[in-house]
């Protein structure tokens, strides 16, 4: 899929009129004024939840209105297996958005912001809601850029106990930590089900959190000899797993 992707609220038979769709608002403005699409060019419309349709630009009207035609078949991309969730401790500054962007590009299915005990950044009140909104907007934009039609879910911020519950329900769970005796690249993975990767903050995962997650069923694993930043570890770990699960074959 190489045509540019644009996001719509819903994509079903009721949303199409004679196989056409009018893309307006911010997405229409991006298509017309930024991408400068013109009649005859291919586009893909998606709701970001797996539904998508290929179409052809019929006309660009004004600065923010794109008419797309030949949208006769709405397809659905099934969820990937195994499903990969990354629990991402809250990094400093804008590194959280960088982590979300690159994890989305490589193919993470869900991202859980984690308020770890050693996180410098804390999401509270309006500031927390604004930060969460930025993560979700980043996942949406990165999903479009990487031509995905099923964007990753970005959950509400989780406590360590909530992360432990997520770990307990997984088919495979790993904490990325330098104390791991086994490399993640050698771990035995399920062919289907849920994989959960836990990425700690700049200060590392505390001993209490390691014990909590171990009790829930997560072992510590290392990626390699070097220690990665919290904003890159999840992306690197996901890439390592995708090459072994068949999702990148």
Determine phi and psi for 88, rounding to 5 degrees: -105, 115
Q: Is it true that the peptide bond before 82 is cis, omega within 30 degrees of 0?
A: yes
Query: Which residues, 6+ apart, have CB-to-CB distance to 94 below 8 Å?
Result: none
pLDDT in the model for residue 224:
83
What structural domains and CATH numbers belong to the chain? Answer: 5-76 (2.40.240.20), 83-243 (3.40.1280.10)
Closest CA relative to residue 105, chosen from 242, 218, 222: 242
CA distances from 2 to 46, 105, 124, 146, 182 (A): 14, 14, 40, 9, 38
List the pLDDT tens digit at each of the 249 positions of the chain: 579 999 998 887 666 777 888 999 999 999 999 999 999 999 999 999 999 999 999 999 989 999 999 987 889 999 999 999 999 999 998 999 999 999 999 999 999 999 999 999 989 999 999 999 999 999 999 999 999 999 999 999 999 999 999 999 999 999 999 888 899 999 999 999 999 999 999 989 999 999 999 999 999 999 988 888 999 999 999 999 999 898 887
Question: How much is the pLDDT for 1?
Answer: 53
Residue 32 C-alpha from the chain's centroid:
26
C-alpha to C-alpha distances, 130 to 18, 92, 138, 225, nearest whole angstrom: 39, 15, 12, 36
Summary count for the chain: helices (H), strands (E) = 6, 13
Beta bridge partners of 111: 86, 154
pLDDT at 179: 86
Whether this prediction's pTM lies above 0.85 is answered by yes
The token duo for 155 is 């959950």
């Amino acid at each position: 899929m190489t045509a540019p992707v644009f996001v719509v609220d819903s994509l079903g038979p009721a949303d199409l009129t004679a196989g056409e769709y009018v893309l307006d608002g911010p997405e229409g403005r991006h298509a017309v004024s930024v991408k400068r699409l013109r009649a005859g060019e291919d586009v893909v419309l998606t709701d970001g939840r797996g539904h998508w349709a290929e179409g052809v630009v019929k006309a660009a009207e004004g600065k923010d209105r794109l008419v797309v035609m030949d949208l006769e078949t709405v397809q659905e991309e099934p969820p990937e297996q195994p499903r990969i969730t990354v629990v991402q401790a809250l990094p400093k500054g804008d590194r959280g958005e960088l982590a979300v962007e690159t994890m989305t590009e490589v193919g993470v299915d869900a991202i859980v912001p984690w308020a770890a005990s050693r996180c410098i950044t804390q999401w509270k009140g309006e500031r927390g809601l604004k930060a969460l909104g930025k993560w979700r907007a980043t996942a949406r934009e990165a999903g479009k850029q990487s031509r995905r039609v099923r964007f990753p879910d970005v959950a509400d911020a989780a406590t360590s106990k909530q992360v432990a519950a997520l770990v307990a329900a997984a088919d495979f769970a790993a904490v990325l930590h330098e104390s791991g005796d086994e490399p993640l690249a050698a771990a035995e993975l399920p062919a289907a089900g849920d994989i959960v990767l836990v990425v700690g903050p700049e200060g590392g995962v505390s001993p209490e959190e390691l014990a909590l997650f171990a009790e829930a069923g997560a072992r510590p694993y290392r990626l390699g000899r070097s220690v990665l930043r919290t904003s890159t570890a999840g992306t690197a770990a996901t890439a390592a797993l995708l090459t072994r699960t068949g999702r990148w074959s």
